[in-house]
Amino acid sequence: MAKKLSVIGIGPGSREMMTVGALDALEKSTVIVGYHVYVDLVKDSYPNKRLITTPMKKESERCVLALQEAASGEDVAFVCSGDAGVYGMAGLVYEVAKDYPGVEIEIIPGITAACSGAAVLGAPLIHDFVLISLSDLLTPWEKIEKRLKCAAEGDFGIVLYNPSSHKRADYLQKACDILLKTLPEDRLCGTVRSIGREGETAKLYTLKELRDTAVDMFTTVFIGNSETREINGKMVTPRGYAAERETQ
């Protein structure tokens, strides 16, 4: 009899940043499926579970494997980093699951890199913000450029996911050049690398400095809005006029 497929956001990497729901689903599972980097993050806590890992760019295959296991009667924990619904596998699972009507699917939310990274930097988001992935594997670059331009014009806080890779080494630079057409050079920015993992590092920059900074795919980039300030080394967006009025 088909069992359950739990699509689990495991957060940025450390066990403390996993939800109780995620831990429960992993505990109940008989098989753990995922990209090998994410399975590696959890496997030591579950020595008796069967593990199935797949390399990057084999996303559909990973979904089919997970669904096949569930259809054959296993309780499957399908692990994704951060939140499975933010540049994760939750959508693809539902698309592929059309062919597996007997499998019950549950999406278990996790802490996305924007939230865990913001906590490392201080409080950069607070108000309206947008997430933009710089990966043009699934989105045409022209669309990414337009979104960057609109986000800058809208004075949003901006969080950049997938800011770089070997093939896209200059994408952050290209993105900053677009933002610099609207935003001032001294706009406060921050990067956080390996959030919740060994070697976590955070740094603050101006937008001009960020443009000339090399980052990798384990980094999330934050661009403040016009109110964002550095306070004692932290990146802080003030709560705003309404909060000021309340405290007067």
Q: Which residues bind ligand SAH (CB under 6 A)?
A: 12-13, 80-83, 86-88, 112-113, 161-163, 192-197, 217-220
Burial of 246 (0-12, 13-18, 19+ CB in 10 A): exposed
Q: Which is nearer to ligand SAH, 3 or 219 (CB)?
A: 219
Q: Least distance in Å: CB of 51 to ligand SAH? A: 20
> Taking the complex as a whole, how short is the minimal distance between the CB of residue 13 and ligand SAH, in angstroms?
5
Please give the Cα distance from 198 to 192 (Å, whole number): 12
Q: Which of 107, 52, 117 is nearest to 84 (CA)?
A: 107
Q: 190-214 in b/e burial notation, b at 16+ Cβ within 10 A?
A: bbbbbbbeeebebebbebeebbebe
Nearer to ligand SAH, 95 or 244 (CB): 95
3 state DSSP class of 65 = helix
For the CB of residue 100, give the shortest distance to ligand SAH in the complex, in Å: 23
With CB atoms as reference, the residue minimizing the distance to ligand SAH is 82
How far separated are the first and last CA of the chain, in Å rounded?
63
4 strand-pairing partners: 104
> What's the chain's length in residues?
248
CB of 139 to ligand SAH, least distance (A): 12
Of 30 and 133, which has the nearer Cβ to ligand SAH? 133
- Distance (Å, whole) CA 248 – CA 235: 24
Q: What span, in angstroms and rounded, lies between the C-alpha atoms of 244 and 191?
A: 29
Minimum separation from the CB atom of position 48 to ligand SAH (A): 26
Distance CA 241, CA 245 (A): 6
Least distance from C-beta 14 to ligand SAH, angstroms?
A: 9
| Residue closer to ligand SAH (CB basis): 71 or 144 | 144
CB 197, min distance to ligand SAH, A: 5
How far out from the chain centre does Cα 132 lie?
Answer: 10
Q: Which is nearer to ligand SAH, 182 or 194 (CB)?
A: 194
Q: Between 92 and 217, name the residue whose CB sits nearer to ligand SAH.
A: 217
Of 87 and 156, the one with the shorter C-beta distance to ligand SAH is: 87
